[in-house]
A and B are shown apart, each in its own frame.
Chain A
């Protein structure tokens, strides 16, 4: 209980500080508000009559990043205090006119590539994009060859749909009957 209160207290002060910390950038943003307003990235999300980047703009970028401390949690949904700070950082960077690409680059430089939701297509990482298609195509090829092999030596016409084969499965039989009737 006491713990809960102290936690509340903490997050309260934390929250206030956050506001202070972003007050300056807000001012900055306001001074160059005209420039900002004409920025193309402002277009996306919903209604927030605030000149600072909206939560949605922040989340849109945070969604493509992973929390650097809690593994496998996207930054936009991560509930920890640390993640809140990173979201504030994104907001600040957005208000300074950074592009999405720049922000991502900053995060990679600061916290390593694992903050990206996909490995960048460089070096060894090519393997992740190349290996599955190669294996799948190889599998398809093997299957195709096997099918060809199996269908060829079989009796006579392959795709003629000849019905002289004695049908064992009663349901198939019924189905075939149906087909005949429908002719």
Chain B
């Protein structure tokens, strides 16, 4: 009953989404405000409708309705209620509902804004967002229906197809069939039961979904021919929030991998990880290059291309993980949605590129540049580097497919390839991060730049020499640490310069001056905070990549293993049932540094009998210097051999997580809405170069 309601409502939502697409197009063609308004209201109806359907699904999950196939697949009776709720996005069908739900929420938010100045965009924004929502709803309605149920024939047997798989459907597949209710479900994949994993997918989806909004505006701008930078001003904050969610998703995913996968690292250059990173790369490039368009009216074509690329990569990445093309720890099980998804991708790619080519001549900005060292030139270089990283990533993901098609040979493209290829590019980005903030819009020269940067360079050199004598002689590490030091110093210097200037000009004290400086241009100083946090993260990434040491050994009780100055003594092991239906094997080890007792750690293996899966949960001891990370590899109850441990010392890695927190703070700071930011046209905040084109079009 509840399942029928859920399915019925989502089907209605699908029809409403289609209607809103049709009404918006018709309204635009006939210049009928009534139709467009009707389309807008239809779109506003989507979120409540999908919410009802989602509520039905959650109800079914929480109340153990195992006759519903999705419930059967993702939960089991022994799961706590909160996990039953979050199992909503733990499987393909449910997560598609989740996607649609988020998408409709964002679409509603954007349609609720005041449109008076941008009426002509409205129908096309509705078309793009509703079409995307309709597509995901169609996947739910026609391919991956979470409400489909199991049935039992009149003979009492489960109705199955020829190959023995139970048939799932909304309606009884034969006369006199009744619902088949399994006694228990499969349970959620143990990997998805970690708190990090519970919020990691929603964050990624939020990031993905919110990039649809700037894309919708870009397409609206292309279709209407209103190709000034109005669309960029409207979507500026959307883009920042999208970037925030996506970044958050990536960070949480890394932390989850570090905590749960038990391989001593946080990023394995797995195709699915890369699929999530790719839109982040273009999104980051976009965030930088829109500034050039805002300040200088340049690069209109390029920005359009970037946002289209970002959306395309979002869709492409989702497709890769969900169609069964890629197999990886993250990928969903094989599914029938592939061809439908492929068609959607084909249409969006071809459509938006055709549109872009068609409007290309209209997108010409005035391209005058005074110097190759001006900030816009450096930003372009930054874009080049981001796109280069994207090229490497994209090619690394796509190449195995090409190889298999043309040679029949499966190949793996693993970390060494990505590390070698992207390392120099990331170094280049760091160098730019150090130089670009010092260059000015329009004009800069070697002289002005040199004058601004020399102190930081010298200080960074001193730090590097110090590190050479005290910490490492690894040349790559030294170059990287030099860059990190330089960027941090330059950025801090920027804060200081601004504050000092304010103190002098406005005769304020340091705190007020700093506060007002930062508050007046949050995007810029938020950006600097992000740069600083990136450097902290870089320290962590360098530490684990360049200095990680590890050892593995089997030791009897009371014996120890030592690594990197730590001694790890194996004290005991115990087995007991966990809170979540799992069988826990937990070792107790005590950690010493020299003769100093530092504390106990508890590496463990959780065995999930229902899912027949082992989880290796490390015990780790984080400090700013390094992270001692211990994995219980093996333990046999009757063996006198003891237990096998794998120990990692991951130097500096905790700076990554510290940096990540500051990073998120920085984005929130930069993206936090101004009071009535949306209502007052953003344009009036800023003083801009006279631009006949733009003002002409805007008024």
Direct contact between A and B judged by beta carbons closer than 8 A: yes
Partner of A77 from the list B262, B327, B410, B440 (CB cut-off 8 Å) is B262
Chain B residues near A163 (CB, 8 Å)?
443
Q: Which of B371, B452, B498 has the most CB of A within 10 A?
A: B371
| A71 touching B327 in the complex, CB below 8 Å, given contacts A140-B384, A158-B372 | yes
Chain B residues near A47 (CB, 8 Å)?
562
Contact between A114 and B410, CB atoms less than 8 A apart: yes
* Shortest Cβ distance from residue A67 to the other chain B in the assembled complex, whole angstroms: 10
Measured in the bound complex, the distance between the Cα atoms of B440 and A7 in whole Å is 66
| Interface: B154 (CB within 8 A) | no
Contact between B268 and A55, CB atoms less than 8 A apart: no
Give the number of chain A interface residues (Cβ < 8 Å). 73
Contact between A46 and B411, CB atoms less than 8 A apart: no
Contact between B498 and A159, CB atoms less than 8 A apart: no
Contact between A128 and B445, CB atoms less than 8 A apart: no
Contact between B384 and A179, CB atoms less than 8 A apart: no
Measured in the bound complex, the distance between the Cα atoms of B173 and A103 in whole Å is 55
Q: Which of B444-494 contact A (CB under 8 A)?
A: 444-448, 451-452
Partner of B498 from the list A117, A167, A171 (CB cut-off 8 Å) is A171
Q: Which of A78-119 contact B (CB under 8 A)?
A: 79, 84, 112-119
Partner of A182 from the list B327, B380, B451 (CB cut-off 8 Å) is B451
Q: Which of B420-457 contact A (CB under 8 A)?
A: 421, 425, 440-448, 451-452
| A151 touching B411 in the complex, CB below 8 Å, given contacts A12-B636, A128-B399, A182-B451 | no
Chain B residues near A84 (CB, 8 Å)?
634
| Interface: B550 (CB within 8 A) | yes
Contact between B413 and A128, CB atoms less than 8 A apart: yes
Name the CB-closest residue of B to A46: B551
Chain A residues near B552 (CB, 8 Å)?
54-56, 59
Chain A residues near B109 (CB, 8 Å)?
none
0 or 1 for each of B14-58: is its CB under 8 Å from A? (1 = yes): 000000000000000000000000000000000000000000000
* Shortest Cβ distance from residue A138 to the other chain B in the assembled complex, whole angstroms: 10
| Interface: B412 (CB within 8 A) | yes
Measured in the bound complex, the distance between the Cα atoms of B425 and A182 in whole Å is 33
Measured in the bound complex, the distance between the Cα atoms of B77 and A81 in whole Å is 28
Contact between B636 and A147, CB atoms less than 8 A apart: no
Measured in the bound complex, the distance between the Cα atoms of B308 and A35 in whole Å is 63
Contact between A128 and B412, CB atoms less than 8 A apart: no
| Interface: B672 (CB within 8 A) | no
Partner of B388 from the list A136, A175, A182 (CB cut-off 8 Å) is A136
Contact between B497 and A175, CB atoms less than 8 A apart: yes
Partner of A151 from the list B372, B421, B583, B607 (CB cut-off 8 Å) is B372
| Interface: A34 (CB within 8 A) | no
Chain A residues near B557 (CB, 8 Å)?
none
Name the CB-closest residue of A to B327: A71
At the interface, is chain A mostly helix, strand, loop or mixed? Answer: helix
* Shortest Cβ distance from residue B15 to the other chain A in the assembled complex, whole angstroms: 40
Measured in the bound complex, the distance between the Cα atoms of B270 and A110 in whole Å is 24
Measured in the bound complex, the distance between the Cα atoms of B436 and A175 in whole Å is 13
Contact between A12 and B638, CB atoms less than 8 A apart: yes
Contact between B391 and A135, CB atoms less than 8 A apart: yes
Q: Which of B403, B407, B443, B444 has the most CB of A within 10 A?
A: B443
Q: Which of B638-655 contact A (CB under 8 A)?
A: 638-639, 644, 646
Contact between A151 and B381, CB atoms less than 8 A apart: no
Chain A residues near B171 (CB, 8 Å)?
none
Contact between B395 and A55, CB atoms less than 8 A apart: no
| A74 touching B411 in the complex, CB below 8 Å, given contacts A119-B403, A151-B369 | no
Name the CB-closest residue of B to A63: B550
Contact between A154 and B370, CB atoms less than 8 A apart: yes
| Interface: B681 (CB within 8 A) | no
| Interface: B409 (CB within 8 A) | yes
Contact between A161 and B447, CB atoms less than 8 A apart: yes
0 or 1 for each of B479-522: is its CB under 8 Å from A? (1 = yes): 00000000000000000011011100100000000000000010
| Interface: B659 (CB within 8 A) | no
* Shortest Cβ distance from residue B370 to the other chain A in the assembled complex, whole angstroms: 6
Contact between A139 and B409, CB atoms less than 8 A apart: no
Q: Which of A163-180 contact B (CB under 8 A)?
A: 163, 165, 167-172, 174-179
Chain B residues near A118 (CB, 8 Å)?
412-414, 416-417
Contact between B609 and A3, CB atoms less than 8 A apart: yes
Chain B residues near A140 (CB, 8 Å)?
384
0 or 1 for each of B167-182: is its CB under 8 Å from A? (1 = yes): 0000000000000000
Chain B residues near A159 (CB, 8 Å)?
371-373, 445-446
Contact between B395 and A128, CB atoms less than 8 A apart: yes
Name the CB-closest residue of B to A177: B501
| A171 touching B399 in the complex, CB below 8 Å, given contacts A143-B380, A154-B368, A159-B373 | no
* Shortest Cβ distance from residue B132 to the other chain A in the assembled complex, whole angstroms: 29
Contact sample, A vs B, 10 pairs, CB 8 Å cutoff: A1-B583, A4-B607, A56-B551, A59-B550, A77-B264, A79-B262, A113-B411, A119-B399, A132-B392, A136-B388
Interface set of B (CB-CB < 8 Å, partner A): 261-264, 268, 270-271, 295, 327-329, 367-373, 377, 380-381, 384, 387-388, 391-392, 395-396, 399-400, 402-403, 406-407, 409-417, 421, 425, 440-448, 451-452, 497-498, 500-502, 505, 521, 524, 550-554, 562-563, 583, 607, 609, 612, 614, 616, 634, 636-639, 644, 646, 687-689
Interface set of A (CB-CB < 8 Å, partner B): 1, 3-4, 7-8, 11-12, 15, 45-48, 54-56, 59, 66, 71-74, 76-77, 79, 84, 112-119, 123-125, 127-128, 131-132, 135-136, 139-140, 143, 146-147, 149-151, 153-155, 158-163, 165, 167-172, 174-179, 182
The 3 closest A-B pairs by CB, nearest first: A117-B414, A77-B263, A55-B552
- Seed contacts A119-B411, A169-B295; 16 additional CB < 8 Å A-B pairs: A4-B583, A4-B607, A12-B638, A54-B553, A71-B328, A74-B414, A79-B614, A114-B409, A116-B411, A143-B384, A149-B367, A153-B368, A154-B370, A155-B368, A171-B498, A174-B505
